[in-house]
Structure 1
Amino acid sequence: METPAAAAGNPNRFNPYLQGLYAPVSREETVLRCDIAGELPRELWGAYVRNGPNPARAPQDLHHWFDGDGMLHGVWFEDGRAEYRSRYLRTADFEADQAEGCGAGGVMLPARRDRRGTVYKDTANTDVLLHGGSLLALWYVGGIPLRVDARSLQTLGEERFGGRLPRHVSAHSKTDPASGELVFFDYALYEPWMSFGVADRDGRLLNAGTVELPGPRLPHDMGLTENYLVLHDLPVVLTEQGLARGQWTIEQRRGQPARFGVVPRRGQGSQVRWFETDPCYIYHVINAWEEGDEIVMQACRMVPNGLAPNRAYGPYAAMAAVLALHAVPWEWRMNLKSGAVRQRQLDDRIGEFPVVNLDRAGRRTQYGYVMSIDTATDLQRFDGIHKYDLQSGACRSWRYAPGWFGSEAAFAPRIAAQDEDDGWLVVFVTEAATGRSEVQVLDARDIDRGPVATVRLPCRVPAGFHATWARGDQVRAA
């Protein structure tokens, strides 16, 4: 398995997120005919693509897992066959690094602003979604969307909505499955506002607005319904010292409530309706929808993990403690008529990185798929998948073999499916001890039966971030 050089003076010899499951791979790969165990369904047509960090050079300075150059790993399924590719995301900052022969600093170092006004290096390494027939790769600090061919994974260029991009676009913006519109949000590290916007399926900007806030915020996701966005004002912020020094140091403000801002999709920021609730932090939304007078949002709500910083990680102890995600599924109901908020915990299983059938995104869904977190470690590892019936609370699970750990899965609907869960879950899985990687294909209606087919890969896929499914009939040829 590849590991970065760990010279005695290099602090990354302590960094667990540059080793083992998380170690970067050394090159881009193309495998046009993958070995398959079992039989891939002929109706499985499209691309499973996952984003994540993969430093092109071995880091020499303090390095956060979130800093790595973006790399997409994708499998294209068609006619019972599978082909695999991995490609770097060639953002302007990536190309500048290549030209300069060095790497820009990340969030554990003081911010730099000498490249096009960016605060940190824009890697586009966080999220990926299908919009207008191709992929958009997005960054969690808010960057320039990068358009990518869904099959070849080649970078096509920046997406600036015909030159009308207001500023940046954050990861976890959404594509509406009915209209094809991209609904996005952005936030500022140092200024008291968030923004949102809508672009049509052809990349034309339809609306943009700004929501004023009491101070800078660090939201990670948003909710989307047929007519509204749900913005997150949460009590986790950059510290005053961090703001002054231009460094990424965060704190949870005790007693500050969480607020959800409901904004009409085609409205202005002044129309926001705030709903205040108990203090909490949310990384990832499961889904949101409208139900009578209520906006319903389901998400993975963080709960304390009880971990103390592990001294074995040296300067990375605090980073590792924060990355050990500990969350449970939760529901909030915001009544647009009365202004009331109701909430309830849906289950007590620990999990994160939720996904749904994207054809139902923004509409009432019955099923959600949450990656099960391995609580026997202080590192972020997914040891299986929970399938929730979000209406009844029932849960079925699939656990990977001991020593194997997965990425975020994606739901792939059967062609012409009528039922919400008629399709497959596809997921990259890697054996920690050997680095062997594969893609498991699970029947979403019978998840605990195990894979109906497995795509065996001749190269390792390191642990990473978010994934998507791109339906074959919706992919536009480059």
Structure 2
Amino acid sequence: MRQHPQAVAEVLDDSGEANPYLLGLYAPVHEQITAENLKVIGEIPRDLNGVYLRNGPNPRHPVRGRYHWFDGDGMVHAVHFENGRARYRNRYVQTRAFRAESSGGRALWTGVMENPKGNPFGNARGLPLKDSANTDLIFHRGRVLATWYLCGSPYTLDPLSLETLGAETFLDTLTGDVMAHPKNDERTGELFWFDYGRTRPYMRYGVVGADGRVAHCVDLDLPGSRLPHDMAITENHAVLMDLPLFQDQEAARQGRYKLTFDRGLPSRFGVIPRRGAAEELRWFEAKPCYIYHVVNAWETGDEIVMDVCRVARPAPAGTGGPLARMLSYLKLDARMYRYRFDLRTGRTSEGYVDPDHNTEFPSIDARRTGYPTRYAYNVSVKDAATNLFDGLVRYDNLTGERQAYHFGEHRYGSEAPFAPRDGGTGEDDGYLVTFVTDERDGVSEVQVLSAADLAAGPIARVIIPTRVPLGFHATWVRSDQLR
């Protein structure tokens, strides 16, 4: 069953250039498997019970035109831990577009680097691109939602079988799309989201209630079309973003994909009551930047504190052809950063938490989303031509301590969600789980580490009987949630 990275590089970019996001560690796998009683080096803790799921792009058919890493079909890789044993399975997310291409036996969509004219259909807000649900995974009301990096239909998956149960409509109350990173408040059972488009309203903000229906939705009229990726919630508010990175509209009219970063515009953060009206939205201005991912946000007195992974140069001056420019845009260069929004004065304070280290894809104890957190667990990003996560970093908000673990030479990992031990209540009273792949032989494993002591290295290494391509976001579903 073992496949060497180069042996599965069957999907090649037809632009005439070797696209590194189709080769080696990124090359797609085509076999969907289920494997029981996986080999373990070390010992899986008996109080680690639940399922680790990670999403990512995995093109099923030879691509049309130039391939962008965000284009690939969504594939979820999952390891279920139960009573000291582990089993693995991987499945494609059966989106509407995936089913259409399966019926046709070939790729029907071009990607974001090509003219979308001729694509069969797009998302609900009229973006003519393939919604592949390849980006994040969010647990809500007993199921997992697979989302897309722009805005699309969230697809519902069974967290154990990985069966795609269909596009989530929230009991037929959803109109429009949902962005990549909706926020689940486990204390209230609510899910918070936004979508955006090229025409007014440029953003809509909504709340799914604990009963599974959209309970609140409001139009927010930004100055123009934007590309926000994430948001935050606190106990009483949501925080939305208007950042000065957007698609060039003239290029879009010509069928070209071109991003513009306007340093003359501020970053703006919109604070709105959880179920507030449009006129209750308050904007806080800050230095221009882009933000892919929020760590967490919470209220303290009259302030909202928000930690993010901040990108100061989201549009690098890439040289060369389209492939070189894509590689420069994709390269992550982010720093841990903190904003404070004073609800009394309207002022913004901002500054670095860690100005020196490139870390991204943050995770926290998901039970505390929107409430004060002490720890954040990020991946460290290697200085390389493509995105490679070479280790994990734990940030301590109380002491300022930074604890790190390196996967080892030629070994690269994935986003590592926090997995609380059975009965554990503390933010580091549990484990981190992450896929790690060795680029030399294509062997993949899941590493289990103590969240309280990353430097000690893995407690257990679970060997996966197939290579797991590098991908995007992950989640942990506890055994009590599975029940």
CA–CA distance in structure 2, aligned partners of residues 335 and 454 of structure 1: 45
On the 8 A contact 1:412/1:423 being kept in 2, the answer is: yes
1:361-395 deviation line (CA, Å, top 9, x unaligned): 111000001100111x1210000000000233210
Which residue does the alignment assign to 2:40? 36
1:77-108 CA distances to partner (integer Å, 9 max, x unpaired)?
A: 11001111100000111111111223212111
**Aligned residues of 2:288 and 2:312 also touching (Cα < 8 A):** no
Structure 1 residue 12 displacement after superposition: 5.8
The equivalent of 1:265 in structure 2 is 274
Corresponding residue for 2:382? 374
SS for the counterpart of 2:441 is: coil
TM-score (norm 2): 0.94
Q: After TM superposition, which residue ranges in structure 1, 4 or more long, deviate above 6 angstroms? A: 305-308
Aligned to 1:136: 145
Identity in percent = 46
Q: CA deviation at 1:217?
A: 0.4
CA distance in 2, matches of 1:201, 1:31: 35
- Given that residues 393 and 402 in structure 2 are in contact (C-alpha distance below 8 angstroms), is that contact kept between their aligned partners in structure 1? yes
Q: 2:297 aligns with which of 268, 288, 304?
A: 288
2:25 corresponds to? 21
TM-superposed CA distance for 1:191, in Å, is 4.0
- On the 8 A contact 1:12/1:60 being kept in 2, the answer is no
Contact 2:196 2:203 in 1 (8 A): yes
Alpha-carbon distance in 2 for matches of 1:91, 1:451: 35
2:86 is the alignment partner of 1:82? yes
Q: Deviations over 1:147-184 (max 9, x none)?
A: 00001111011111121102100111111121121111
- Alpha carbon RMSD of aligned pairs, Å? 1.8
Structure 1 partner of 2:345? 338
Distance 2:17 2:465 in 1: 27
Q: Secondary structure of the equivalent of 1:178?
A: coil
The residue number in structure 1 matching 2:395 is 388
- Describe how 1:223-238 pairs up with structure 2 within 5 A: 223-238=232-247
Match of 1:111 among 111, 116, 119: 116
State the Cα distance separating 1:265 from its structure 2 match: 1.2
What SS class does the counterpart of residue 445 from structure 1 fall into?
coil
Question: Which residue does the alignment assign to 2:186?
Answer: 177
SS in 1 for 2:97: helix
Partners of 1:70 and 1:124 within 8 A in 2: yes
- Per the TM alignment, residue 246 of structure 1 is displaced from its structure 2 partner at its CA by 3.8
* Partner AA of 1:465 in structure 2: F
Amino acid of the structure 1 residue aligned with 2:324: A
Q: Distance in 2 between matches of 1:202 and 1:50?
A: 27
Deviation string, structure 1 residues 410-467 (Cα, Å, up to 9, x no partner)? 1001122132210000000000111100000000001100000110111000000000
Q: Deviations over 1:165-213 (max 9, x none)?
A: 0210011111112112111111113445211111124421111111111
CA distance in 2, matches of 1:80, 1:328: 37
Work out whether 1:353 is the aligned partner of 2:358: no
Number of aligned pairs?
472
C-alpha separation in 2, matches of 1:105 and 1:6: 14
Match of 1:409 in 2: 416
Aligned to 2:466: 459
In the alignment, structure 1 residue 161 sits paired with structure 2 residue 170:
yes
| Cα distance in structure 1, aligned partners of 2:376 and 2:54 | 18
**Deviation of the 1:305 alpha carbon:** 8.8
Query: In structure 2, what is the Cα distance between the partners aligned to 1:322 and 1:449?
Result: 35
Aligned with residue 69 of structure 1, among 70, 73, 84: 73
Q: TM-score, normalised by structure 1?
A: 0.95
Amino acid at match of 1:266: R
C-alpha displacement at 1:309, in angstroms? Answer: 4.0
From 430, 435, 439, give the equivalent of 1:432. Answer: 439
SS in 1 for 2:176: coil
Tell whether 2:425 aligns with 1:421. Answer: no
| Corresponding letter in the other structure for 1:332 | Y
Structure 1 residues 263, 107: closer, same or farther in 2, change over 3 A?
A: same
Q: Are the aligned partners of 1:34 and 1:457 in contact in 2 as well (CA < 8 Å)?
A: yes
1:109 maps to a residue whose letter is: E
Shift of 1:42: 0.9
Moved more, 447-456 or 59-68: 59-68
Post-superposition shift, 1:247? 3.3
2:102 matched to 1:98?
A: yes
Structure 1: how far apart are the matches of 2:437 and 2:372? 33
Counterpart CA distance in 1 for 2:358 and 2:74 is 27
SS at match of 2:179: coil
Cα distance in 2 between the residues matched to 1:306 and 1:272: 28
* Distance of 2:295 and 2:146 partners within structure 1: 20
Cα distance in 2 for residues equivalent to 1:462 and 1:436: 10
Whether the 8 Å contact between 2:64 and 2:110 is mirrored in structure 1 is no
Instruction: State the 1:118 CA deviation.
Output: 5.0
Residues 264 and 247 (structure 1 numbering): CA distance in 2 closer, same or farther, change over 3 Å? farther
Structure 1 residues 12 and 408, CA gap change in structure 2 (3 angstroms): farther
Q: Which residue of 2 aligns with 1:475?
A: 482
Partner of 1:14, secondary structure, is coil
| Secondary structure at 1:392 match in 2 | coil
Which has the higher mean CA deviation after the structures are superposed, 237-246 or 273-282?
Answer: 237-246
Q: More deviation in 315-324 or 70-79?
A: 315-324
Contact 1:421/1:445, CA 8 A, preserved across alignment: yes
Instruction: Give the 3 Å change call, closer, same or farther, for CA 391–166 of structure 1 in structure 2.
Output: farther
Matched, 1:365 2:370: no
- 2:51 aligned residue: 47
Q: Offset of 1:13 from its aligned partner?
A: 4.1
- Which position in structure 1 is the counterpart of 2:129? 120
- Deviation track 1:308-355 (CA, whole Å, cap 9, x = no partner) reads 6475xx531011111110011000000111101111100121111111
SS in 1 for 2:325: helix
Q: How far, CA to CA, are the matches of 2:210 and 2:8 in structure 1?
A: 41
User: Can you give the 5+ residue segments of structure 1 that lack an aligned partner in the other structure?
Assistant: none
Q: 1:185 to 1:306 in 2, by over 3 A?
A: closer
Alpha-carbon shift at residue 5 of structure 1 (Å): 4.0
CA distance in 2, matches of 1:182, 1:242: 35
Equivalent-residue separation in structure 2 for 1:405 and 1:242 (angstroms)? 36
Shift of residue 306, structure 1, vs aligned partner: 11
Secondary structure of the structure 1 residue equivalent to 2:295: strand
Task: Give the deviation of 1:10 after TM superposition.
Answer: 2.2
